A and B are shown apart, each in its own frame.
Chain A
Amino acid sequence: MYKMEEKEGKKVFNFQGRMDTSACSGIENEVAGQVEKAGQPVVFDLTGVDFVSSAFLRLCISAAKKTGPGKFQVANASPQIKKVFKIAGMDQFLSVQ
């Protein structure tokens, strides 16, 4: 469902496919734990993600809070997914690229 890698001093989480409620429930705690102990900027790479649920949005909010201001980024969101973050108003407090 996701892969993790170190890239240019950042911890990058690569997600794939539909991040619906059931997909998120399987990884929620694990991802939150990894973000918690990252100690460096965190990126959620959404290349290949075509659906995000409320649970995934919550995961992003939690990651943004844990990493602190300016240290969390959502990257490679498709226009459809970028719009989801806009509608939720989340682009106000986290970076969506």
Chain B
Amino acid sequence: MEEKNTFTEKVDEYFTNAKNAAAVFSQLDQQQTDAIVKAVYEAGFKNRIMLAKMAAEETGLGKWQDKVIKNVVATQFVYEDIKDLKTVGIIHEDHVTGITEIAQPMGPILAIIPVTNPTSTVLFKILIALKTRNPIIISPSKKARKCSCEAAKICYEAALKMDAPENCIQWVEDTSRETTQAMMVHKSLSLILATGGTGLVKSAYSSGTPTLGVGAGNVPVFIEKSADIPFAVEQICISKLFDNGTICASEQAIVAEKSVASKVEEEFRRRKACILTAEQVKLLEKAVYDSEKKLMNADIVGQPAMTIAKKAGLDVPPDTQLLIAPLKGVGNEYPISSEILAPVLAYYVADDFEHAVNICIDLNYHGGIGHTASMFSNDDEKIKQFSTLMNAGRIVVNTPSSQGAVGGIYNMLSPSLTLGCGTGGKNITTDNVTAKHLLNIQRIARRRENQRLEKFDKSLYFDESLDAGAIEKIYNRNF
């Protein structure tokens, strides 16, 4: 009983601190807020390499060099994107409509941090929280506790030097499932920024606290016949090999039209990808997929292709970078058609455009609804047709999807490490989540008379002989 009280008191203490920080934060103006954000960005950026190495070492996932790039996106690119955003006080005035918008902070935010991006997600979430004057509590993954807490600490020290409120950034060093659950339902919590596995995101949504979450990805890549094939394959390899495939927006399956398939395969082989035989695919399935949980095996996430090949007992060339599994269908009976966050790709050859789009739809709906789809094509009509048929928040075109989906590098999407997946992914937005999502916008609505209603004879509403069309005609009459 005593232990339980201590635990509750501990959780309460985080929120007492956070509420006080929120209160003090509410007094800061735009200039003071921006100065804090700039200092934190600079501190995060300065430590990008140290934090990346720490993350790679602690988690054993991915490559530290790629984690440096993630930290750069989370600091430099995010800062560039948000630095001029108005987030304090009056942010928009329209004298014609009489509407004035006022930005207010939301209050304490709980940030759930995934093991796959343990420092970049911390840096990113802290920057967008501070920009909007919201205190933030970092809840790291158990497997990445040290590096996530270190990233938070670096940011906090930089923030304090610029007179940020005490406890505007807090972190949970002794994280546990129970602590996270207790925090998610705490009455003083305003918002959860939930980036992580499906189970965790679902708990966040079920907590009753407003949540901005993410969905799982299963990104199909359609190589349409008008695409520049060597370029497409080069881009896919850059993307899929980035941090050994740990980004949820990384390519999961390649769908090539028959007319270009042999060229696609030749290009993949040239780039040290190994296209597996049917027997090898069977062996790989067992190594990368847990058929009971119907999920990828956690121990292959972010591992190099050769490590996975060895685990699967595959005899492949020793310099293999990417494992490609040709498949005949999509679904649980084809495990590699599911999301695998490692250098493993499913591969399909389609008869024509329609067939290819149908395979992509199946892939998209097999665990990746609302996330990301990718297409390589130089036919704008087909790009639009494909995009309309995908259920994806982002359809990236002629772009490596890992880097394309996070925004700011290959397109003008907002740089973000929290990619909304819309209602399909059980999220409230399809946007790349950023600072603008962390504000309560108040609207002053000044009186502006509706001139048409003023001149309209309202007694006509009581005349049953008049239908909607007749009323509309009179209502819209120009005098």
Contacts and interface: CB of A to CB of B under 8 A. Distances in A.
A87 B166 contact: no
Interface stretch (A27-35, A39-47, A50-58, A62-70): A50-58
A84 B21 CA distance: 10
Nearest to A58: B20
B165 interface: yes
The prevalent SS among residues of B at the interface is loop
What range describes how many residues of A lie at the interface?
10 to 19
A80 B24 CA distance: 11
B26 A87 contact: yes
A6 interface: no
Identify the interface centre among A80, A83, A88, A90: most chain B CB within 10 Å of its CB: A88
Contacts of A80: 27
Interface residues of B, number: 14
B23 A88 contact: yes
Given A87-B107, A89-B188, A52 B27 contact: yes
A21 interface: yes
A87 B163 contact: no
A54 B432 CA distance: 33
B163 A85 contact: no
A88 B19 contact: yes
B163 A57 contact: no
Contacts of A89: 19, 188
B26 A53 contact: no
A54 B165 contact: yes
B441 to A, nearest CB: 17
B23 A85 contact: yes
A90 B20 CA distance: 9
Contacts of A52: 24, 27
Contact of A57 (B24, B26, B107, B188): B24
B165 A87 contact: no
Interface of B: 19-24, 26-27, 107, 163, 165-167, 188
